[in-house]
């Protein structure tokens, strides 16, 4: 039975308070929330801090375990755990990216990456944790190599976008980087085997079925053959690529438009995130969270996605980020301009 045939509700488990300004971004720590390891979530905010939340073994509720402060001097816009969960990278409007390591019970800033001319908007680790990408208002995308001793070396500075770059995301298995921007495009970057530098291998713009306004976020599905993007143009777009071809070393396969989800949103969509089992969550300026799942296959029109549910007034203000837990618990976290984070569980309707 597919998800679409089931009945679900998005149940608010907990509301996390502590940030004193809007919450921008969230990151579930890898390999937590499973096998008896308590789930850990990082959040970052306009209050210049990062908070680490941990689910209590006893009560099951999330508690703030650490506040990472006095390092960034302006808004912390983005946070990302390294795949091993050892390091946390945070990108800030103060133009720096900080790398945090847990030493005992405390998080210590072990490295600061400078180079962006101004606001850093997003940070992302590649699948192996050997590379870190950052992007920002200076229109550039930077790739850093992680060296022993918490040293980082700049491998590439990519200047292809013509406006603020909103987000960077690595492909879940291959060293292919995607970025999306205020210039309305999505760009795909790959390493050039010849010149040991990186270059843009694909630009998706409006004329290639892309977005007609700012692209705020992107997310890959777990197998990495699909990508979802969301935009100020009020649409969500799904893209597909022949990753078998790429994995066999047979060059770069372009991302092709699969479908556009329009008519569901009437305000800017700030966040889209694909769950492990294939549910797309969106967070938007209308304070709502929506979930989309694949529709019936075999239609002439190709694959479709259907609205599974819409949670109105999920927050009191804009929803900036939605993030599915990578564990098998169907937990979704959301962050909002209202300064709160909410933990939701996707479950059959209560009383059923």
- Site residues for another protein per CB under 8 A: 46, 74-75, 77, 93, 114-115, 117-119, 137-140, 153-157, 159, 162-164, 182-185, 194-197, 205-206, 212-214, 232, 268, 270, 285, 318
The rounded distance, in Å, linking the Cα atoms of 76 and 318 is 17
In the complex, the smallest distance separating the C-beta of residue 210 from another protein, rounded to whole angstroms, is: 9
In the complex, the smallest distance separating the C-beta of residue 262 from another protein, rounded to whole angstroms, is: 15
Token pair belonging to 319: 């929803």
In the complex, the smallest distance separating the C-beta of residue 124 from another protein, rounded to whole angstroms, is: 18
29 Cβ neighbours under 8 A, 6+ residues apart: 39, 40, 41, 42, 81, 85
In the complex, the smallest distance separating the C-beta of residue 14 from another protein, rounded to whole angstroms, is: 26
Q: 111 vs 304, which CB is nearer to another protein?
A: 111
HEC per residue, the chain: CCHHHCCCEEEEEEEECCCCCCEEEEEECCCCCCCCCCCEEEEEECCCCEEEEEECCCCCCEEEEEEECCCCCCCEEEEEECCCCCEEEEEECCCCEEEEEEECCEEEEEEEECCCCCCEEEEEECCCCCEEEEEECCCEEEEEEEECCCEEEEEEEEECCCCCEEEEEECCCCCCEEEEECCCCEEEEEEECCCCEEEEEEEECHHHCCCCCCEEEEEECCCCCEEEEEECCCCEEEEECCHHHHHCCCCCCCCEEEEEECCCCCCCEEEEEECCCCCEEEEECCCCEEEEEECCCCCCCCCCEEEEEEECCCCCCCEEEEEECCCCCCEEEEEECCCCEEEEEEECCCCC
Q: 220 vs 270, which CB is nearer to another protein?
A: 270
Q: 30 vs 210, which CB is nearer to another protein?
A: 210
Q: 199 vs 245, which CB is nearer to another protein?
A: 199
Q: 151 vs 296, which CB is nearer to another protein?
A: 151
Q: 157 vs 327, which CB is nearer to another protein?
A: 157
In the complex, the smallest distance separating the C-beta of residue 294 from another protein, rounded to whole angstroms, is: 30
In the complex, the smallest distance separating the C-beta of residue 221 from another protein, rounded to whole angstroms, is: 27
Q: 194 vs 312, which CB is nearer to another protein?
A: 194
In the complex, the smallest distance separating the C-beta of residue 297 from another protein, rounded to whole angstroms, is: 34
In the complex, the smallest distance separating the C-beta of residue 119 from another protein, rounded to whole angstroms, is: 6
């Amino acid at each position: 039975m597919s998800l679409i045939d089931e009945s679900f509700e998005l149940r608010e488990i907990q509301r996390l308070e502590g940030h004193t300004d809007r919450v921008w971004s969230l990151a579930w720590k890898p390999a937590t929330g499973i096998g008896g390891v308590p789930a850990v979530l990082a959040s970052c905010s306009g209050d210049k801090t990062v908070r680490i939340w941990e689910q209590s073994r006893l009560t099951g509720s999330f508690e703030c375990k650490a506040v990472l402060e006095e390092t960034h001097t302006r808004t912390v816009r983005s946070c990302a755990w390294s795949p091993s969960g050892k390091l946390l990278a945070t990108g800030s409007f103060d133009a720096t990216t900080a790398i945090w390591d847990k030493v005992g019970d405390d998080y210590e800033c072990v490295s600061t990456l400078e180079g962006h001319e101004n606001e850093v908007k997003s940070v992302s680790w590649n699948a192996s944790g050997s590379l870190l990408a950052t992007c920002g208002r200076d229109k550039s995308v930077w790739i850093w190599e992680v060296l022993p001793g918490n040293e980082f070396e700049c491998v590439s500075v990519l200047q292809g976008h013509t406006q603020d770059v909103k987000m960077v995301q690595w492909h879940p298995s291959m060293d292919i980087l995607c970025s999306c921007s205020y210039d309305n495009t999505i760009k795909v970057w790959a390493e050039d085997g010849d010149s040991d530098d990186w270059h843009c291998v694909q630009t998706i713009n409006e004329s290639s079925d892309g977005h007609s306004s700012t692209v705020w976020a992107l997310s890959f599905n777990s197998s990495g053959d699909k990508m979802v993007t969301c935009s100020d143009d009020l649409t969500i777009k799904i893209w597909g690529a022949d990753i078998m071809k790429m994995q066999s070393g047979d060059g770069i396969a372009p991302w092709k438009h699969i479908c556009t989800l329009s008519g569901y949103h009437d305000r800017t969509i700030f966040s889209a995130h694909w769950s492990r089992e294939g549910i797309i969550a969106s967070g938007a300026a209308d304070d709502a969270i929506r979930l989309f799942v694949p529709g019936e296959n075999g239609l002439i029109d190709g694959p479709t996605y259907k609205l599974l549910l819409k949670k109105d007034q999920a927050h009191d203000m804009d929803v900036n980020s939605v993030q599915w837990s990578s564990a098998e618990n169907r937990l979704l976290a959301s962050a909002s301009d209202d300064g709160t984070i909410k933990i939701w569980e996707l479950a059959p309707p209560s009383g059923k």
